[in-house]
Amino acid sequence: MGRIANYSNTQKYSDKKSFDGKPVEEGKVLVPFKKEDMNLMPGEYIDDNFTTFHLGEFKIVVGFMAISEGYFASYMQEFWDKLTKELEARREGRCVIGKNADGTDKLCPYTRKCKGCQNKGLLERRNTHRVEIISLDYEYEGDGFDIEDTSTPSVEDQVLEKIDPEPTEDELKLQMLAHFDKTNPRYGQIIRLSLSGMSIDDICITIGLKSSRGRQEINNAHDAVCDYLKLRHHKKNRK
Length of the chain as a residue count:
239
pLDDT at residue 5 above 50? yes
| Residue 138: strand pairing partners | 147
pLDDT at residue 73 above 80? yes
Residues 123 and 193 in one domain: no
Q: Cα(7)–Cα(74) distance, rounded to whole angstroms?
A: 8
Q: pLDDT band at residue 1, thresholds of 50, 70 and 90?
A: very low
- What average pLDDT does this structure show over 70-81? 90
- What average pLDDT does this structure show over 175-202? 88
Q: How many CB atoms lie within 10 A of CB 189?
A: 17
Residues 107 and 178 in one domain: no
Q: Cα(152)–Cα(125) distance, rounded to whole angstroms?
A: 38
Residue pLDDT, tens place only, 108-125: 766 555 666 666 666 666
Burial (Cβ within 10 Å: 0-12, 13-18, ≥19) of residue 46: middle
Contacts of 11 (CB under 8 A, 6+ apart): 29
Domain annotation covers residue 9: yes
Q: Cα(176)–Cα(228) distance, rounded to whole angstroms?
A: 8
Which of 91, 110, 138 represents a domain boundary (last residue)?
91
What's the domain count of the chain? 3
Residues 129 and 141 in one domain: yes
Residue pLDDT, tens place only, 141-157: 444 444 444 444 544 45
Q: Cα(70)–Cα(165) distance, rounded to whole angstroms?
A: 12
| Contact indicator for 53, 19 with CB cutoff of 8 Å | no
Type of residue found at 40:
L
Question: Range of 23's domain?
Answer: 1-91
The mean predicted confidence, pLDDT, of the chain is: 75
